[in-house]
Amino acid sequence: MKNFGDKLNKSLLSNRDLLFLQGEMAQLSYQAFNAFIDVINKEKSDKIPTTYPVGFNADNTPINSTHDYTKEELIARYKYLALDKLPLDGIYQLVTLMETQFGDIIRMTFSAIQSLEQ
């Protein structure tokens, strides 16, 4: 049977891995945004049509919408995602991971105390 220290260490290591994964995903996303901006800049046309799903039909086929962005509009959207939205969402996820870790530590502590009292 694992003791309290082993359980605590396993939980901390798991959350540490999740924290590093969060950082890795943020960096990969940022690099992808930069790469796509390079692709946009290489486009010959000033308007870039972008199609994305806005819903589903009754038969589960997507309902698509197409919007023609100018290069400047599309680059501005990607810069917003990379420089504003991504860091903010990353902070929310990091806070959530830390809150979960804190809750796990408290739960494990109370469980260990309760098992000692019995």
The enclosing domain of 30 has a CATH number of 1.10.287
Query: Whole domain around residue 112: which residue ranges?
Result: 4-117
Per the CB < 8 A criterion, the answer to whether 97 and 73 are in contact is no
Encoding tokens for residue 117? 């009292």
Distance from chain centroid for Cα 2? 32
Split into its structural domains, the chain has a count of 1
Phi-psi region of 60 (alpha: psi -120 to 50; beta: other; left: phi over 0): left
Average pLDDT estimate for 35-54: 92
The two structure tokens encoding residue 91 = 């902070």
pLDDT at position 22 is 87
Q: Beta-strand (E) ranges in the chain? A: 47-56, 62-70
Confidence tier at 57 by pLDDT (50, 70, 90): very high
Is the pLDDT at 111 greater than 50? The verdict is yes
